[in-house]
Structure 1
C-alpha cells in the first residue's frame, strides 16, 4: 500500500503530483456531462474506434464521449508515466484507469495501450489488436496528439516543436498566479521563429504521423468500408493568433488540414471513407496552458460566456454524432468540422477583445473569471475537484488497466 495525503505542489501551471481520487472524480463528472446516446448500440456491437492521445484534453473527451454517446469499442492510446517512490503517476495515468473502469461498467471493450504513438512498434501492436480482437476492421480513428518532440521512425531524426511567432517578435498579455494564487497580468515577449523552427514544429505537430497511422493500418487491410478519421485541432481568437494560429503551431495546423484533404481523397477512392479535421473551441488543457496569452484569453472568455462555454465532452459528443451518421458530417471548404462557432461568434469575440484591452492586474478579478481558470488548472491534476476529501490518504499506486479477456 502506498497511501498518502497529497497536496498540490506546482511550478506555474505545471504540477509535480496528481491526485488519483480527484482525477477519477473528474472523469466521472465528464462522463455525467456527456449527453446520453440517441440509440445505444448493444454491448459488443458498437463501432470499432482507435483514439490516439486518449488521456488528456480533447482526446480524453473524445474517448469518454465515444464510449457513452457512440458506444465505441476498440483501442485508446496514450503515453503516461506510472508512480514512483518519489512521485505519483501522471494525471493522465489516473484518468486512464478511471476511464477503463467506466468502459467496463458500460460493457464496452476498450483496450488501453501506453506507449509512443510516433513509433512504428506501437502502430504494429495496435494493428495486431485490431486484427486479433476486433475482427480486423476499424471504423473510426481519432487523432489527438500534442507532444514536444517526435522521432521519425524512418530516419531516426528527432524533431522538437516550438511556440514562436513567424516573421517578427511578438509581445502579448498573459496571466500568471503568485504562490498565494493572486492573479497578475504581465506582458511577455516571444522571439520570432528562425532557422528550421517552422519545419521542426510541422514535423512534430503536423499531419505526418497521422498519415503514417493510416498508411500502416491500410497496408494491413484494416480500414472498414466507410472508414472515417479526424484529427482534433484549434484555430482560436485573433487575440492569440500571432503566437498560435499565425505562428509555428499554426503552420503545423495548416499542414494537418492539408493532410486531411490528401487523406480524404485516398480514403474516398479506396474504402468510400472520409478524413477531416475538427476545430474545437477553447478549453483549459495541459497543452493550452503552455501557450502565452491563452490563460488570460480563456479566463476572459469564461467571464463573457459563463456556463455557455461549451465543455469538451459535449463538443466531442457532437463530433461522434457526425462520425457515426447520427447527424450529417458537415465540413467547411477547408475540410474542417467547426465545433468552435460558439467561441468565435462576432459578439463574443468583441466582448472578449474589449476586456482584453482594459485588463490589468488591478482589474483582472473583475474582467476575467480567474477563480474558475485557476481551479480548472488544478483539476487537470485532480485537485480542487468538488466531492473529494483532500485530507484523507489516497492510494497512489494505481495499476494501468489490464487486458480484459474478450
Structure 2
C-alpha cells in the first residue's frame, strides 16, 4: 500500500509540470502495518543489507538469475547477496505501488530504486520489472527479456508472498488466510502501544474452512512456481545445471498450530510437493528443484502471522545478538550451496535447510521456557522486543540510524529503467 497524505510542497517547472515532490512524512501505523514509507530510510536499509554481505575475493562466470519477489524479504537479500558474492545478472521482479501526489510509494518501490543504484555502482546488469509475477503477461515479458538480453537461466528464485492471486487460467481471484486447521487457536501475542512499549495481548483464531485452506494453497503453494519453470523449459531457457529454489519455513513447535499445521503450512506442503514434481517431470534430468527452509526473520510477510512477533522476540532473547542469523547471512549461505562452494545441506525430504541455528534443541528449550511466562520474559530482556520493533519499523524505512526524519524528503522516486 502507499502512504497517507502528507503535508509538503511541489516544485513546478516553467512548463507547469510537477518535477519533484518533497514532503514531511510521519509514520501512520496500524498494528504491524505502516501505511507510509520513508524513501531515504528504505534506501539506507538496503545499503545496510548490502554492506552486511561480504564481497567475494574472486568470481567465476556471472550466472543468469531470475528472482521473483525481489523487492522485499529473502528475495531482496538473495538478489543482493547473489550480486555481491557471485556477480549474478538477469531479471528481478517485484510488484509495488508508485504512490501519487497524496501518498508515498510502497517501501518495496524505494528499496528497489536503491537496489538498482547498487547494481549500477557494482557494474552489474539486472533489469528490474514492476509487474504481477502471477500474470501470464509478466511471464511473457520476462521470457522475451531473457531471450533477447541474458540467455538461459542458471538460477530461478521463487520468493513470492501475497494476500491474493489471480489464477491465470480461470481469472478467479483467490485470497489467502492465516488460520489453524481443525481446531481453534489461542496464543499470547506481542503488540506495542503508542509509545512503542511492548504489551502482551491474546490472539484467538477460528479454524479455516476447506475453501479457505484451498484458496491459501492456490496463492501460497507451488502452482505458480511450476508455471514459471515450465515456461522456461518450453522456451529453451534452462541453463546447463539449472537450479530453482522456493523459499519456505518450518519453524518451532510453538508456532506450529498457526503456521506449519495451519493454512500456510498446507501451502508450504504443496510447495514442497511441487519441488518433487518439477524435479521429476518438468526438469527430468535437466536441472534441480528445491524448497529452502529458511530461519526466522522479521519481514513484512512474517509480521502478518499471529504470535510470530512474540516468538521471534523470544528467539532473539534466547540466542542473543551474536547468534542471530539475518536474511543476508542466510542468503550468503544459500548461494554458497547453489554454486557448489559448499555442499548442499539437505534433510530427509530433500529440502535445503538454513534454519539449524533456530531449531537447535538447546535454543528451542530456552524459547519454550520463555514462552511459558512471556510477561516475565519480556520484562527480563526488554532489549529483545525493542530490537523487534526497530526491525519491523525499518521494513518501512523508519527508525533507521543516520536518517533525518525531521527534514522534508523527495517521495517521487522513479522506478529504475
Specify the TM-score bucket, using the shorter chain as the normaliser: over 0.9
Q: Report matched runs for 1:244-283 at 5 Å.
A: 244-266=259-281, 269-271=284-286, 273-283=287-297
Is 1:160–1:204's contact at 8 Å kept on the other side of the alignment?
A: yes
2:209 to 177, 181, 194: 194
Among 302, 305, 308, which residue is 1:291 paired with? 305
**Partner in structure 2 of residue 239 of structure 1:** 254
Q: What displacement does 1:90 show?
A: 0.4
1:12 aligned residue (21, 27, 31):
31
Is 1:207 matched up with 2:222? yes
Instruction: Give the whole-Å Cα distance in 2 for the aligned partners of 1:330 and 1:285.
Output: 24
Give the counterpart of 2:233 among 218, 233, 238: 218
Return the offset for 1:38: 4.9
Aligned to 1:398: 413
Counterpart selection for 1:351 from 366, 386, 410: 366
Displacement of 1:268 in angstroms is 5.2
Which portions of structure 1, spanning 4 or more consecutive aligned residues, are displaced by more than 3 angstroms?
Answer: none
Assess, with a 3 A threshold, how the Cα gap between structure 1 residues 365 and 396 changes in structure 2: closer, same or farther. farther
How far apart are the structure 1 equivalents of 2:236 and 2:210? 40
Cα distance, 1:39 vs. partner?
Answer: 2.3
Distance 2:197 2:50 in 1: 32
Name the residue aligned to 1:97. Answer: 113
Aligned: 1:331 with 2:346: yes
Q: Deviations over 1:99-135 (max 9, x none)?
A: 000011111100000011000100010000000001x
CA–CA distance in 2 between the matches of 1:306 and 1:276?
Answer: 30
Residue 266 (structure 1) shift: 3.3
Q: 2:157 aligns with which of 131, 137, 142?
A: 142
2:132 corresponds to 1:116: yes
Structure 1 residue 269 displacement after superposition: 2.6
1:40 positional shift? 2.4
* Structure 1 CA distance for aligned equivalents of residues 398 and 57 of structure 2: 33
2:328 aligns to what?
A: 313
Cα deviation code 1:370-391 (max 9, x no counterpart): 1101111110000111111112
Distance (whole Å) between structure 2 residues aligned to residue 363 and residue 277 of structure 1: 34
CA shift, 1:300, in A, is 0.7
Contact 2:233 2:282 in 1 (8 A): no
After TM superposition, the score normalised by the length of structure 1 is 0.95
| CA distance in 1: counterparts of 2:296 and 2:176, whole angstroms | 21
Q: Which residue does the alignment assign to 2:66?
A: 50
Q: How many aligned residue pairs are there? A: 396
Tell me which residue corresponds to 1:371: 386
Worse-matched range after superposition: 118-127 or 188-197: 188-197
TM-score calculated relative to the size of structure 2: 0.93
Deviates more, 1:242-251 or 1:300-309: 300-309
- How far does residue 267 in structure 1 lie from its aligned partner after superposition? 5.4
Distance of 2:281 and 2:146 partners within structure 1? 21
Partners of 1:315 and 1:393 in 2: how far apart? 35
Change (3 A) 1:330 1:182: closer
CA contact (8 A) 1:57 1:285 kept: yes
Which residues in structure 2 correspond to 1:53-132 (within 5 Å)?
53-132=69-148
| Bigger relative contact order, structure 1 or 2 (CA pairs below 8 A, ≥6 apart) | 1
| Equivalent pair of 2:371/2:377 in contact (CA under 8 Å) | no
Aligned partners of 1:142 and 1:329: how far apart in 2? 16
Deviation at 1:5, TM superposition (A): 2.1
- Residues 52 and 143 in structure 1, CA contact (< 8 A), matched pair in contact too: yes
CA–CA distance in structure 2, aligned partners of residues 103 and 295 of structure 1: 32
SS in structure 2 opposite 1:274? Answer: strand
Q: Offset at 1:35?
A: 2.1
Partner deviation per Cα, 1:47-92 (whole Å, 9 max, x = no partner):
0000000011111111111111121000000100002111110000
In 1: Cα distance, 2:110 partner to 2:340 partner: 32
Deviation of the 1:179 alpha carbon: 1.5
In structure 1, distance between residues paired with 2:117 and 2:225 = 28
3-state SS of the aligned residue for 2:320?
A: helix
Report if aligned partners of 2:189, 2:202 keep a CA contact under 8 Å in 1: yes
Distance 1:365 1:309 in 2: 20
User: Residue 105 of structure 2 aligns to a residue in which SS?
Assistant: coil
The 5 Å alignment of 1:159-170 reads 159-170=174-185
